[in-house]
A and B are shown apart, each in its own frame.
Chain A
Amino acid sequence: MEATTVAKTGTEGKTWGGGNQPLKASYGKLMMWFFITSDALTFSGFLAAYGFSRFKFIEEWPIADEVFNHFPFLHGVDAPMYYVALMTFILIFSSVTMVLAVDAGHQMKKGKVVTYMALTILGGIIFLGSQAWEWKNFIKGEYGAVELNSGKIIQFVDANGDRIALDEFSTISQKVRVEHQEKNGVWYEAEDSYNPRSLEDVKRGFIANEDLRVRTMKITDEGEKEILTREESLQTLEEKGIGVIEGANLKKNEYGAPLFGDFFFFITGFHGFHVFSGVLILVIVFFNVLLGTYEKRGSYEMVEKVGLYWHFVDLVWVFVFTFFYLV
Chain B
Amino acid sequence: MAHDTTHSEHGEHKSATKRIWQVFIILSILTIVEVVFGIFKPDFLVHTDLISLSLLNWIFIVLTIIKAYYITWAFMHMEHEAASLRRTVVWTGVFLISYLIAILLIEGAYIQDIYANSFIAWDF
Contact = CB atoms under 8 A, between A and B. Distances in A.
A30 B84 CA distance: 12
B63 to A, nearest CB: 8
Nearest to A85: B35
Nearest to B52: A55
Nearest to A312: B76
A272 to B, nearest CB: 19
> In this complex, which of A54, A59, A85 has the most chain B Cβ atoms within 10 angstroms of its Cβ?
A85
Nearest to A315: B71
Contacts of A315: 68, 71-72, 76
Contacts of A54: 108
A224 to B, nearest CB: 11
A107 B38 CA distance: 41
Contacts of B39: 65, 80-81
B84 A22 contact: yes
A103 B17 contact: yes
Nearest to B96: A41
A33 B89 contact: yes
B20 A48 contact: no
Contacts, number: 154
Interface residues of B, number: 56
Interface in A82-129: 82, 85, 88-89, 92-93, 95-96, 98-100, 102-103, 106-107
B81 interface: yes
Contact of B75 (A24, A45, A95): A95
B20 A318 contact: no
Interface stretch (A158-166, A185-193, A277-285, A319-327): A319-327
A218 B17 CA distance: 50
B112 A107 contact: no
A49 interface: yes
Interface residues of chain B: helix, strand, loop or mixed (majority)? helix
Nearest to B109: A55
Classify chain A: how many residues form its interface, as a range: 35 or more
A55 B15 CA distance: 47
B12 A106 contact: yes
Contacts of A52: 104-105, 107-108
Interface in A40-61: 40-41, 44-45, 48-49, 51-60
B88 A223 contact: no
A95 B112 CA distance: 39
A51 B64 contact: no
Interface in B31-50: 31-32, 34-35, 37-39, 46
Contacts of B17: 100, 103
B113 to A, nearest CB: 10
Sort A-B residue pairs by CB-CB distance and give the 3 closest, nearest first: A55-B108, A24-B82, A52-B108
25 contacts: A22-B82, A24-B84, A25-B81, A25-B85, A33-B85, A41-B93, A51-B101, A51-B105, A55-B105, A56-B111, A56-B112, A58-B112, A88-B31, A92-B24, A95-B71, A99-B20, A99-B75, A103-B16, A216-B123, A304-B77, A311-B71, A311-B75, A315-B68, A315-B72, A322-B63
